């Protein structure tokens, strides 16, 4: 190290009298205590939740690894919004490096130098330190300016905190102004700290003319600007002292305020990512199995799982879930963000009276009181119509950058409403039909397999003879006349390919996927156990299903009840048969089509590529929907909404989707791969008056047309 480099450093307490240093340390210690108490308060709240499903400690290492990759890549923030991703990267890395730099400086100033006489904050170390912090400070500044420009000028709709579940004159709408003010205070405070930091650096360089100024390039530029003002030495000294204290006091105030403001997401978001369930929404948590007689689901705050209470505090109000929600997009009274924020407000209000003694008692002794035994459904809380508006499509969970499980929380609220009988009459009737007949149509069980009568070949009964493929047909594919023709198309294709397949006939019952997502956990378990018992008596190698909803629950949820098999959607099987040559197209269709990704095939189970492989194999030109793959828009049937009354005066999600398809120009077909989509989109084509503009076709029908197993293809709508 050269002698010049060894001399490079800067003083922390420049021309400070002893009393000023003592005052600073007293304020710093006070700030830390306020911060620590602020962190302890929510922990005391979380201890009052239900810890039943906290992940085991053995998983902690892997979970932390996943959370670290998510945080340091900023991938979840960039998801579908690269502008915000780059802005947040600048803020995240700039803040992180400046924070680490502050800690390093504190270690040198308060520990190693006074206790051991070792000063490492000098020489080459200091020069590199200065260059890195000076550069990353600019990254923070640029990120903040991008965010401020976005909020002040671009004003994306998802940052409008207007609640869709409240009227314009509702006091809760006015209360949302506090969120906007808090957001600006958070961003403005960081902006002030960065600007005053560079100002201080510039004044120091202007006064001291250090030889290492080129290691603070942006501080040097600030110094040049200050020099142009022609300030006297005395004026610079005053500016330096005032700037130091204003910067320092705001920094201490910021640190102490972190647990009480938007800044808490820096702690809770990471905790949420560690605790999140990767199968959230795909596999719902089972109801408690104890014999306490306690009601299931979420009715009061103390019912909430601990990780869900953490997630309520993790919400950054970014609006990604709000924007992705199909219910919200079509005018229904639901925003996943607002559900989370309402629940958070309820929880914070319930804990408001807990003082230092209560917090310490909770942390040290595990003391719990009844503060969280507060209702969360109805009145000014989460309203029933909001809970029932959810389609359980998981779009909110997919979009959330911090791992919040909005859809599963709403499902837990539904469980309580179902248990208390607080649901519309039509839904009650459907659940009763499912319980009595095993299907949502209320048809006699013996009619489930009648669709095979119009085939010119026999379909095996998988209960009576072994098969390679057991076809779990599903309710709509079995009973709905509009889907039965698709079902027969699939049967003819399987026979053409030489697949050894069979069905359960009247032994099959509703899979329970939508029953569970409505909130009827007991009926789901009954259906699942019955189907598992039936399947256990059969001999087969794999299951194929026409229904993405059945695919999801058979694949992801039956395993917890003892049923585990290889389960395929019919599009996966057909794609393999086409590529393997068992199905050979006699012609390339040449149709111009668009394709709708079903929520439970795509977003829940990653089934994006197989349908597209099929379309390519049969010679269709695919024009992708603007919202496709994991950003696909729900048809409106999920979560049991197909069994509920549609609100008047609102566009249906299926109608919204058809209008989106028509915006692509002339199309031959709107292609689907789900029996419920057949129902929803055929109706939407008619209600939007576009029966002559576009036809709805199930993917298997196009395959059958190309393969030639049926001489006259049947369209579902339009032509």
- Domain spans in the chain, listed from the N-terminal domain onward: 60-160, 183-260, 297-419, 427-437+444-707
| Spatial separation of the C-alpha atoms in residues 443 and 438, rounded to whole Å | 8
Give residue 181's pLDDT. 95
Parallel, antiparallel, or unpaired: how do β-strands 501-503 and 469-472 relate? parallel
Alpha-carbon distances, residue 255 vs 33, 232, 260, 417, 421 (angstroms)? 10, 34, 10, 42, 47
Give residue 184's pLDDT. 97
Q: Are the beta carbons of 475 and 678 closer than 8 angstroms?
A: no
Reduced to 3 states (helix: H, G, I; strand: E, B; else coil), residue 50 is strand
Phi, psi of 226 (to 5 degrees): -65, -40
CA 455 to chain centre: 44
Q: What is the CATH number of domain 297-419?
A: 1.10.1060
Positions in the chain whose pLDDT score sits under 50: 1-7, 290, 711, 713-715, 717-719
pLDDT digits (tens, 9 = 90+) for 149-189: 999 999 999 999 999 999 999 988 988 889 999 999 999 99
CA angle 55, 56, 62 (to 5 degrees): 80
Question: Taking Cα atoms as reference points, which of 563, 604, 568 lies closest to residue 408?
Answer: 604
| Spatial separation of the C-alpha atoms in residues 47 and 366, rounded to whole Å | 8
| Spatial separation of the C-alpha atoms in residues 199 and 221, rounded to whole Å | 10
Give residue 530's pLDDT. 98
Alpha-carbon distances, residue 484 vs 452, 478, 504, 671 (angstroms)? 9, 6, 16, 17
Reduced to 3 states (helix: H, G, I; strand: E, B; else coil), residue 194 is helix
Provide the 8-state DSSP code for 638. Answer: G
Reduced to 3 states (helix: H, G, I; strand: E, B; else coil), residue 542 is strand
| Spatial separation of the C-alpha atoms in residues 624 and 705, rounded to whole Å | 22
Token pair 């560079």: residue: 198
| Spatial separation of the C-alpha atoms in residues 712 and 719, rounded to whole Å | 13
- 382 bridge partner residues: 377
| Spatial separation of the C-alpha atoms in residues 246 and 696, rounded to whole Å | 66
Number of C-beta neighbours around residue 62 at 10 A: 10
Q: In what order do the strands lie in the sheet with 621-622?
A: 621-622, 592-595, 669-672, 695-698
Mean pLDDT, the chain, integer: 93
694 Cβ contact list (under 8 Å, min separation 6):
658, 661, 662, 667, 669, 670, 685, 718
Q: Are the beta carbons of 680 and 646 closer than 8 angstroms?
A: no
Reduced to 3 states (helix: H, G, I; strand: E, B; else coil), residue 11 is coil
Q: Which helix (H) or strand (E) holds 311?
A: helix 306-314
Q: Which helix (H) or strand (E) holds 671?
A: strand 669-672
pLDDT digits (tens, 9 = 90+) for 667-690: 999 999 999 999 999 999 999 999
| Spatial separation of the C-alpha atoms in residues 187 and 239, rounded to whole Å | 24
Per-position DSSP letters for 446-496, written without gaps between them: GGTTGGGGGSSS--EETTTS--SEEEE--HHHHH-HHHHHHHHHHHHHHHH
Give residue 370's pLDDT. 79
Report the half-sphere exposure of 515 (CA within 13 A, side-chain side).
27
Query: Which H, E and C letters describe 89-135, residue by residue?
Result: HHHHHHHHHHHHHHHHHHHHHHHHHHHHCCCCCCHHHHHHHHHHHHH
Burial class of residue 66 (count of CB atoms within 10 Å of its CB; 0-12, 13-18, 19+): middle
Give residue 365's pLDDT. 67
Token pair 């705001």: residue: 250
């Amino acid at each position: 190290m050269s002698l010049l480099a060894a001399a490079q450093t800067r003083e922390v307490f420049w021309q400070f009298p002893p009393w000023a240093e003592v005052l600073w340390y007293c304020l710093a210690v006070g700030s830390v205590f306020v911060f620590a108490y602020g962190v302890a308060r929510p922990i005391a709240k979380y201890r009052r939740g239900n810890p039943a499903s906290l992940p085991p400690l053995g998983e902690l290492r892997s979970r932390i690894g996943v959370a670290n990759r998510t945080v340091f890549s900023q991938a979840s923030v960039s998801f579908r919004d690269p502008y915000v991703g780059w802005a947040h990267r600048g803020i995240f890395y700039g803040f992180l490096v400046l924070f680490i730099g502050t800690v390093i400086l504190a270690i040198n100033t308060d520990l190693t130098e006074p206790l051991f006489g070792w000063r490492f904050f000098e020489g080459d170390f200091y020069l590199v330190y200065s260059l890195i912090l000076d550069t990353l400070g600019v990254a923070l500044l640029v990120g903040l300016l991008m965010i401020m420009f976005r909020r002040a000028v671009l004003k994306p709709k998802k940052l409008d905190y207007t609640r869709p579940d409240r009227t314009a004159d509702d006091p809760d709408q006015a209360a949302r102004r506090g969120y906007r003010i808090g957001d600006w205070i958070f961003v403005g405070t960081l902006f002030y700290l960065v600007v005053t930091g560079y100002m201080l650096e510039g004044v120091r360089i202007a006064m001291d003319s250090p030889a290492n100024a080129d290691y603070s390039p942006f501080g040097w530029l600030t110094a040049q600007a200050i020099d142009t003002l022609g300030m006297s030495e005395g004026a610079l000294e005053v500016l330096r002292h005032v700037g130091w204290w204003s910067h320092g006091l705001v920094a201490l105030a910021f640190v102490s305020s972190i647990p009480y403001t938007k800044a808490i997401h820096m702690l809770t978001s990471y905790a949420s990512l560690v605790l999140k369930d990767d199968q959230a929404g795909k596999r719902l948590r089972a109801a408690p199995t104890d014999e306490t007689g306690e009601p299931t689901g979420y009715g009061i705050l103390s019912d909430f799982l601990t990780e869900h209470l953490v997630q309520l505090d993790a919400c950054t109000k970014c609006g990604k879930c709000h924007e992705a929600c199909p219910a919200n997009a079509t005018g229904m009274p639901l925003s996943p963000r607002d559900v989370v924020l309402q629940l958070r407000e309820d929880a914070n209000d319930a804990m408001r009276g807990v003082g230092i003694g209560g917090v310490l008692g909770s942390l040290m002794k595990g003391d719990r009181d009844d503060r969280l035994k507060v209702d969360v459904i109805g009145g000014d809380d989460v309203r029933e119509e909001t809970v029932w508006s959810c389609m359980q499509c998981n779009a909110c969970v997919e979009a959330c950058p911090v791992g919040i499980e909005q859809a599963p929380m709403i499902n837990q609220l539904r469980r309580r409403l179902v248990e208390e009988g607080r649901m519309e009459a039509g839904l009650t009737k459907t659940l009763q039909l499912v319980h009595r007949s095993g299907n949502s149509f209320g048809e006699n069980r013996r009619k489930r397999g009648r669709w095979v009568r119009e085939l010119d070949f026999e379909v095996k009964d998988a209960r009576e003879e072994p098969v390679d493929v057991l076809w779990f047909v599903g309710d709509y594919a079995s009973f709905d006349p509009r889907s039965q023709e698709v079902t027969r198309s699939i049967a003819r294709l399987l026979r053409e390919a030489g697949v050894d397949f069979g069905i359960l006939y009247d032994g099959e019952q509703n899979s329970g996927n939508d029953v569970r997502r409505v909130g009827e956990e007991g009926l789901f378990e009954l259906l699942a156990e019955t189907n598992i018992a039936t399947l256990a008596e059969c001999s087969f190698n794999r299951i194929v299903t026409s229904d993405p909803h059945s695919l999801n629950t058979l694949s992801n949820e039956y395993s917890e009840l003892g049923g585990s098999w290889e389960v395929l959607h019919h599009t996966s099987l057909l794609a393999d048969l086409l590529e393997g040559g068992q199905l050979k197209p006699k012609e390339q269709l040449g149709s111009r089509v668009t394709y709708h990704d079903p929520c439970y095939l795509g977003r829940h189970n990653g089934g994006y590529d197989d349908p597209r492989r099929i379309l390519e194999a049969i010679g269709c030109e695919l024009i992708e929907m603007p919202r496709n793959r994991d950003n696909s828009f729900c048809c409106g049937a999920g979560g049991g909404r197909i069994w509920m009354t549609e609100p008047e005066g609102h566009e249906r999600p299926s109608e919204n989707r058809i209008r989106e398809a028509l915006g692509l120009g002339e199309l031959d077909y709107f292609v689907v791969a789900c029996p419920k989509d057949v129902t929803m989109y055929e109706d939407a084509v008619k209600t939007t008056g576009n029966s002559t503009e576009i036809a709805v076709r199930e993917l298997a029908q196009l395959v059958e047309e190309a393969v030639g197993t049926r001489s006259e293809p049947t369209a579902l709508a339009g032509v």
